[in-house]
Structure formats: structure tokens, C-alpha cells
Amino acid sequence: MSDTINAKGSDSKFRPHPDGQYIGICVDTIDLGDNVETFAGQPSKLAHKCALVFRTGERNEETGDYIDIGREFTVSMGEKANLRKFLEQWRGKAYDAEQIEAGVPLHKLTNQAGLLTIAQETSKQGRKYAKITACVGVPKQMKGGIGQYTDYTRADYWDEKKAAYLAAARQFRAEQAPTSTDDDEAPPYEDSEMPF
């Protein structure tokens, strides 16, 4: 005897953010820690990652929850860094050398508004997701009605991502650690014997 089964799509209530342009408020800046990056033809390396999370006011019709959207970056303000390009586009002007040298305090982005361009894409596994493709400053004429979101709570997803990155980084470091040899047992140099 067989059970009657109707296979359907995922039961997940997750809904990606709709595509288009939206005024979004940065509600969170998240330090994700180090993650292992691998690019074709290059050795794997650790890269410090962060995420900027925006809320546009869009809600999941089934649950009523806000549909927040985030974008992940390598924490770098180098000339070619995606984070720097994103922030300069958002603020409408480039950072000068002094600002870069002093460091850009990402936590100060919280509660700042940006005009987001959001596109929906499909992953290799067939899952739909939304991504922020651009962020520019909000025109003065549109700033009047922008409110703040005081009820934001960081989604569990980000803690899970942090934990996954931490585990991968620990494994990478362990694999990169030099193995012990007989030379490791040699006594340390005296200060007077140091070559410099």
C-alpha cells in the first residue's frame, strides 16, 4: 500500500525582496569576521567580511514580517574595493586619502538612507534571492517622508553566517599552520645573536 503524496515547492515562508528601486534605511552593520575566499588560479586566503542591512518597508505578505536586504563586503577601503565603490556611490563623492587613512566608521551608517536598486536572481541551486546592485544618495525632494525603524532585530541568519565563517577560518588556519619539526625544539636565539 502506498501513501498519497503530492510533491510541491519549498514550504519556506522566505520571500526575497522585490526588485526595483526603493528608499532603504541602513538598520545594521555586521562584522562577520574572517572568511575563506577562493578565486580561480589563486591560493585561498582569509578576508575580513562585513554586511550592511537595509530595510525598505516591504513586508512578507504571508507573515507580515519586514523583508530586510543585506549586502556583504570585504572590509577594505582600497581603491578597487567594492565596499569603497559602494560607499562613494552612496555618499556621492570620493573619500580623500586622510579619510581612508583614519578609517571609515561603518557603524555610523546605521539610520542613513539610500536609494537602492534591487535585482532578483536565481542561485545555481534554483533558489530565488534579491541583491542590492547599487545604492545612491536620496534626492533632497524625497527626504521629507523618510522615517526610522526602531523595531529592527538582527535575523538569526547573520549569526549562522558568522558561525560558518568562523568554523571555515579556524579550519583554514589549522591547515596553514606549520608542522612541527626538530628545528622547532631548538632553543630560541639570545638577543645578541639576532641577525638584525
Q: What pLDDT, on the 0 to 100 scale, is given for residue 179? A: 61
Task: Using the structure block, give the residue that is written with the C-alpha cell 526603493.
Answer: 22
Q: What pLDDT, on the 0 to 100 scale, is given for residue 144? A: 77
Residues 46 and 172 sit within 8 Å (Cβ to Cβ) = yes
Q: What pLDDT, on the 0 to 100 scale, is given for residue 142? A: 82
DSSP-H helix ranges across 61-155: 82-91, 97-102
What phi and psi values does residue 128 have, to the nearest 5 degrees?
-80, 140
Q: What pLDDT, on the 0 to 100 scale, is given for residue 196? A: 36
Q: What pLDDT, on the 0 to 100 scale, is given for residue 20? A: 95
Cα 60 to Cα 14: distance, rounded to the nearest angstrom? 8
pLDDT of the chain along its 196 residues, tens only? Answer: 555 554 444 455 678 999 999 999 999 999 999 999 988 888 999 999 999 999 999 999 999 999 999 999 999 999 999 999 999 999 999 999 999 999 999 999 999 999 999 999 998 888 899 999 999 999 888 877 788 888 999 999 999 999 999 999 999 999 987 765 555 554 444 444 433 3
